Amino acid sequence: MRKVIFIVVSIAYITLSFVQCSTDTSKRELNSEESVDSVSIVHMPAMDSTSGLVIDEGMELVKANCTACHSSKLIIQNRASREGWLDMIRWMQETQNLWPLGANEEIILKYLAKNYAPENVGRRAPLEEIEWYTLEDK
């Protein structure tokens, strides 16, 4: 029994040290602007130059069916699960004259749910993209 507890505690200790270690690394990385740049480049997907949409399978169908009525900006600023995107499509079909999408619906849904998926931002996100400037004395 005592052995088991010892093993559990050891594992917990090792795990904790590992978590702490990786947290320290990320702090260091994010304190340097260069690292932030390289992190963001990794995350930046290729964009279509005319619509700003992420280039991926299904993009042309999205352009053809969605931007006939509204700007691609409306898509790009939204985030939803597959179910959420489907809800939006149904709402547009019921109230906004969107046509039936047929077999393309599945491809469009896949594209949207993959490239414009929600992220958990908690109850309130930190202040973002602060543009620092020196406030002159009056």
Write out the residues near another protein by the rule CB under 8 A. 23, 26-27, 29-31, 33, 36-37, 39-40, 43, 47, 49-52, 69-71, 73-74, 76-81, 84, 87-88, 95-97, 118-135, 137
Query: CA 12, CA 17: separation in Å to the nearest integer?
Result: 9
Our CB check for another protein shows the closer of 2 and 123 to be: 123
CB 80 within 8 A of CB 118: yes
User: How many Cβ atoms sit within 10 Å of the Cβ of residue 66?
Assistant: 22
The residue among 36, 56, 38 whose CA lies nearest residue 46 is 56
Least spacing, CB of residue 49 vs another protein, in Å: 7
Our CB check for another protein shows the closer of 10 and 26 to be: 26
Say whether 5 sits in a helix, a strand or coil. Answer: helix
Least spacing, CB of residue 75 vs another protein, in Å: 10
Q: Which two tokens stand for residue 123?
A: 């109850």
Least spacing, CB of residue 18 vs another protein, in Å: 15
